[in-house]
Chains A and B, each alone.
Chain A
Amino acid sequence: MSHSHPLPLKRQGEHLSDDGASAIKPSRLKIAIPSEDSDKKNASKRLKDVEICVPIVYGTIAFYLGRKASESQSHKWTVYVRGASNEDLGVVIKRVVFQLHPSFNNPTRVVESPPFELSESGWGEFEIAITLYFHNDVCEKQLDLYHHLKLYPEDESGPQSTKKPVVVESYNEIVFPEPSEGFLARIQNHPAVNVPRLPTGLNLPSPVSIDTMNDKERGDTKDHPLSQWFLNFSEADELLKLAAARQQVQAHIVKLRRQLSLVEGLPQLSKPPSGYECT
């Protein structure tokens, strides 16, 4: 397969602190309130009745290089994990590791900050393993996703266009069934996260923000260069279809139930004399 070919997109893990004086300017300093010890303890307490849900979309976009294509590098593609509404996932995800085909140089690519994406060029399709690592107060376990990189379009009519990429995206939701209070406090009103209505009287500790939150670059993908190709995922359509299907099935069930009760009522009347006619 091809060698890695760095593209002018953002390099992973790089902080834009070329001028050394103003080093990394974390926009959010650690606001840990040293006063309450109970707060700290509470931060790790887990809430049983709250389920936090993070809708994400992950996938690949692949462009044919056309004239610039070579034997070993015919396509330029990007694999990414984004918020479903293009919000910044950095509040939840600490880093993402993309495991590429072994023929790539350094096939394990780590992306330390949002937007969690990786661009490469190559010629072959393969399965990319995407591992999400969450912040410490979110979850200690990692989560694995798998995505098949698609370079060639479905319909093979005509030459490939360099303008229209092959986009394959999957929608999914990360569910944290028993989030810690600290986590909840931190992301309570963040747009990337769906938090259900909290039980009343819940005393959350004051939010402690994460270290090394690099806010120099935006973590959201709202104005991402590839955002024009992002697919739309609306649950409304699906819900409608499901509701319609359910209605149909329920109607059938009702009819059958009626039938069943009729059939059950009748066998006692049977044993007719011969010559019974069936129509």
Chain B
Amino acid sequence: MDAKDILGLSKNTFPPLEKKSRPPKESQRKPDGISREVYALTGGLAPLMPAIEASQLKKKPLPLEKITWQWLPFTSSARKDNLQLYHWVRVVNGVPPTGDYSFAKYNKTVDVIKYTDEEYDKYLTNPMWTKEETDQLFDLCERFDLRFVVIADRFPSPRTVEELKDRYYSVSRAILVARAPSSGDVAAHPLVKEPYNVSQEMERKRALSMVLSQTRQQERRDEEVLVEAKRIAESRIPPKRVSIVHQAPPLVVTQFIHKGFLLVPDQIVYAGHQDFFVAAINEIGQKHHYPHCPILNHVLNDAFVDIKHVAEESQLAASNAGAEVTERAVPGETVSPSTVQLPSMVVPPTLTDNASTLASLRMLRVYLRTYALEQMVQAANASAGLRTIKRVEQTLQDLGVNLKPRVPTKAVCAEHLELRKEILTWLNLQKQVQYKEAEGSSFRDGSYSETPGTPKHLHRAGDQDRTFVPDAVNFGVERIGKKDQKRKAPGAPSAHKRPRKLKASDL
């Protein structure tokens, strides 16, 4: 149509007319089976040769046999009553299939032992069970194929499943042993080899039900404890020589959060005596009405074995204290044995980190002194945040000490490590002093008074633009020179959330 426009021909033909003119054209062109455009791709002509040979196409394979389906009767060897039922059967060449009903082989039964009365009197008498009951039990066992839950339900007198099982198995066992010509013959029989253990079974079932009835919270705590125990166990595994000086083996168990029956020890550090430890657990358990904490015992026992091992070893090492030990002794942190109280003392993590680092170093056959120092420094820094670590390094620089010693001999590394630890202690003390004074000031000023530059406890956030650090909190202690000469300009805003009020570092 547009072409005609372009050519300038008259637009006389109306759409219906055009449509009319099209169909004859289309019928001329369009073949069957493929669309017009596709056909047009071939050039508008049908191909001369067929593209695919008919013989190449898949043919249905002629059936070799003649198969029919017939409705035929059948019997099953599993049935004792010769009942004849019908079903569809695939008949091949007129020959119906032979053989037993294909599902008959699944009809399994249990061989429940049958004892005679004499045998009963000879071997099977039991004060807890009458002959009647035993007979009833065996009858039910036979009927219900040893499905003890059903049997327990049907048993006339109230007996627990465990009792029934116990009776059944012990009777069977006794009969087997009695009937066997020699004990050796039956020794391999599973009934003889593994006798039924009532108490164990009851315990197992109880534990299982506890596990299955855990709430989500308890499950999570379970995991935490396991992870913790695993971590401890792994760090304890090479407890060859722990060169740490400490006195009597301390028991330190802290902060038992307890809900349900799972305890999450925050820091299981050392355990001196196993009884001590288990007693602690049990006491806690009893306190909260869980006399036995099977999971906890199991979990902690594993970790515990290693801990105990370490404690023993370390005792030996302590008694063999040599030059090594004194050099590496962690300053001052001996722990006194505590009675089992909750919560009791916290052993600082430095001890454990030191020990585990040393142990892991010893696992290597060879290492560089600088590497060892790095590991120890890392371990010591583990408890500190990134900012604290940076402050430590800044302090080292200010003191004129290389961050990595230039001559890393054993002695130098030890000194370096000690210095770092002392700086950490110092920084912690600084923070503590700050906090104490902050608390003190919040006691003092109950209201929003105007004391210049005194950031209130409530007003902590963002109060950074003091130009002068006044002695706002004065409990009558003399303070000389509050300004911080260490690294920051006096009163320069510190990066801390709580601005430092007093810098006593220069005193």
Cβ of A68 within 8 Å of any chain B Cβ, yes or no, is no
Number of A-B residue pairs with CB-CB distance less than 8 Å in the complex they form: 154
Looking at the complex, which of B35-43, B103-111, B339-347, B423-431 is the stretch in contact with chain A?
B423-431
Cβ of A230 within 8 Å of any chain B Cβ, yes or no, is no
Contacting residues, chain B, for A272 (C-beta < 8 A): 444
Find out whether the CB atom of B471 lies under 8 angstroms from the CB atom of A172.
no
Find out whether the CB atom of A278 lies under 8 angstroms from the CB atom of B432.
no
Q: Tell me the complex Cα distance, A68–B296, Å.
A: 77
Q: A53-B410, A172-B368, A263-B437 are in contact. Are A48 and B444 (CB under 8 A)?
A: no
Would you give the 0/1 interface string for A42-64, flagging 1 where the beta carbon is closer than 8 Å to chain B?
00000011010101000000000
Q: Tell me the complex Cα distance, A264–B439, Å.
A: 10
Find out whether the CB atom of B365 lies under 8 angstroms from the CB atom of A141.
yes
Looking at the complex, which of A22-30, A107-115, A149-157, A231-239 is the stretch in contact with chain B?
A231-239
Would you give the 0/1 interface string for A229-253, flagging 1 where the beta carbon is closer than 8 Å to chain B?
0000111011101111110111011
CB nearest to A196 among chain B residues: B323
Out of A55, A174, A276, which one reaches B366, CB within 8 Å? Answer: A174
Contacting residues, chain A, for B362 (C-beta < 8 A): 177-178
Q: For chain B, which range describes its interface: under 10, 10 to 19, 20 to 34, or 35 or more residues?
A: 35 or more
Out of A174, A233, A256, which one reaches B426, CB within 8 Å? Answer: A256
Q: A259-B433, A266-B475, A276-B444 are in contact. Are A197 and B401 (CB under 8 A)?
A: no
Within 8 A of B (CB), among A205-258: 233-235, 237-239, 241-246, 248-250, 252-253, 255-257
Cβ of A1 within 8 Å of any chain B Cβ, yes or no, is no
Out of A178, A196, A278, which one reaches B365, CB within 8 Å? Answer: A178
Q: Residue among A234, A238, A243, A264 with the most chain B CB within 10 A?
A: A238
Q: A175-B369, A178-B365, A262-B477 are in contact. Are A279 and B423 (CB under 8 A)?
A: no
Would you give the 0/1 interface string for B76-108, flagging 1 where the beta carbon is closer than 8 Å to chain A?
000000000000000000000000000000000
Out of B411, B437, B472, B507, which one reaches A278, CB within 8 Å? Answer: B472
Contacting residues, chain A, for B471 (C-beta < 8 A): 278-279
Q: Would you give the shortest CB distance from A197 to chain B, in whole angstroms?
A: 7
Q: Tell me the complex Cα distance, A142–B436, Å.
A: 53
Out of A175, A237, A246, A253, which one reaches B415, CB within 8 Å? Answer: A246
Cβ of B400 within 8 Å of any chain A Cβ, yes or no, is yes
Cβ of B495 within 8 Å of any chain A Cβ, yes or no, is no
Find out whether the CB atom of A139 lies under 8 angstroms from the CB atom of B443.
no
Q: Residue among B412, B418, B423, B470 with the most chain A CB within 10 A?
A: B412
Out of A134, A233, A260, A271, which one reaches B407, CB within 8 Å? Answer: A233
Find out whether the CB atom of B444 lies under 8 angstroms from the CB atom of A270.
yes
CB nearest to B405 among chain A residues: A238
Find out whether the CB atom of B361 lies under 8 angstroms from the CB atom of A260.
no
Find out whether the CB atom of A141 lies under 8 angstroms from the CB atom of B366.
yes
Q: For chain A, which range describes its interface: under 10, 10 to 19, 20 to 34, or 35 or more residues?
A: 35 or more
Q: Residue among A141, A244, A248, A272 with the most chain B CB within 10 A?
A: A248
Cβ of A140 within 8 Å of any chain B Cβ, yes or no, is yes
Cβ of B357 within 8 Å of any chain A Cβ, yes or no, is no
Cβ of B454 within 8 Å of any chain A Cβ, yes or no, is yes
Q: Tell me the complex Cα distance, A178–B361, Å.
A: 10
CB nearest to B370 among chain A residues: A172
Cβ of B504 within 8 Å of any chain A Cβ, yes or no, is yes
Out of A134, A138, A249, A278, which one reaches B474, CB within 8 Å? Answer: A278
Within 8 A of A (CB), among B407-465: 407-412, 415-416, 418-419, 422-423, 425-426, 429-430, 432-433, 436-437, 439-440, 443-444, 451, 454
Out of B368, B370, B399, B433, which one reaches A256, CB within 8 Å? Answer: B433
Find out whether the CB atom of A271 lies under 8 angstroms from the CB atom of B399.
no
Q: Tell me the complex Cα distance, A270–B412, Å.
A: 48
Find out whether the CB atom of B426 lies under 8 angstroms from the CB atom of A134.
no
> Which are the 7 A-B pairs with shortest beta-carbon distances?
A173-B369, A242-B415, A256-B429, A245-B399, A266-B475, A263-B436, A139-B366
15 contacts between A and B (CB under 8 A): A48-B241, A53-B369, A140-B365, A143-B367, A171-B406, A173-B410, A177-B365, A238-B405, A238-B406, A238-B412, A246-B422, A253-B422, A260-B433, A260-B436, A270-B475
Q: Name B residues whose Cβ lies closer than 8 Å to a Cβ of A.
A: 240-241, 320, 322-324, 361-362, 364-370, 372, 395-396, 399-402, 405-412, 415-416, 418-419, 422-423, 425-426, 429-430, 432-433, 436-437, 439-440, 443-444, 451, 454, 470-477, 504-505, 507
**Contacts beyond the supplied A177-B362, A178-B365, A246-B418: 14 A-B pairs with Cβ under 8 Å:** A55-B409, A140-B365, A143-B366, A173-B408, A173-B410, A175-B368, A177-B361, A237-B407, A238-B407, A249-B419, A253-B425, A259-B477, A263-B475, A263-B477
